[in-house]
Amino acid sequence: MRVAVLASGGGTNLQALIDALGAAPTAPARISRVISNRPDAGALERARRAGIPTTVLRDPQNPAELLAAIGDAQLVVLAGYLKLVPGAVVARFRQRMVNIHPALLPDFGGPGMYGRRVHEAVLASRATESGATVHYVDEHYDRGPIVAQRRVPVRPDDTADTLAQRVLAAEHALLPEVLLSLAQRIQRETIDESG
C-alpha cells in the first residue's frame, strides 16, 4: 500500500510513521512520497534522509497539482499539513485520506486551530483531558468522521508546552496504528472487490 504524506512543519509525525513502518518489514504500507506546501518544512529533510521522494507544491489549492504530486498513492495522510485540501482531491480519496489533530475533536478544531493555539484553547476551557484525534478528511477543517482518539489528562500545572509534549507523544503512537489498520482494511476491500 503506497502512502503519500502531506506535511507543513517539522515532521515528527512523519518520523513516527517512518520509524513504525521501517520497524515492521512485513508492514502493509510504505511511504512513497512526502508533499509539502513549504520548501523549508523539516518534514522534507526527514523524508530525504529516509530516501523518500519529496515534492513542494507551488499552489496548494490547485487540485491538479496536488493529485499529480500524490501520484499512484492509495492512501493519504495529513501529518501537520496546514492547508485545506481541495474538494476534488478529497473526493478522489474519500475514506482514504486521514488527518491527525492535537485535540479531542470535535472540540478545539477548525480554521486556525493548530499547534500551540489548540493547547492554549484547551487550557483556557479548563478541560480535564485532551489528546489526539485521527479523522477522515472532508471539505472542512477538522470535521470529517473520527477514526480513532487517544486521550491524555490535563494536569493542573500544565502549560501549553507541557500539554503539547504529552499530546504529541499520543499522536506518535496513534497515527502509525491507524495507518497500519487502514492499510489492512483497504487491502481486504481490494481483494474482496477483485475476487
Residues with a catalytic annotation lie at 101
Q: Do you know the residue count of the chain?
A: 195
181 contacts 25 by C-beta, under 8 angstroms: no
Query: Which helix or strand (DSSP H or E) is residue 15 part of?
Result: helix 12-22
51 contacts 30 by C-beta, under 8 angstroms: no
Hey, how many other C-beta atoms are within 10 angstroms of the C-beta on 160? 17
Selection from 94, 82, 13 nearest residue 21 by Cα: 13
Q: Count how many Cα atoms sit within 13 Å of the Cα of residue 136 in the half-sphere of its side chain.
A: 13
Taken in order 127, 149, 92, 62, is the CA torsion positive or negative?
A: positive
Helix (H, G, I), strand (E, B) or coil at 119: helix
CA distance to 19, 43, 76, 136, 185, per residue, from 190 (Å): 26, 30, 16, 19, 9
Task: Report residue 119 as a C-alpha cell.
Answer: 493547547
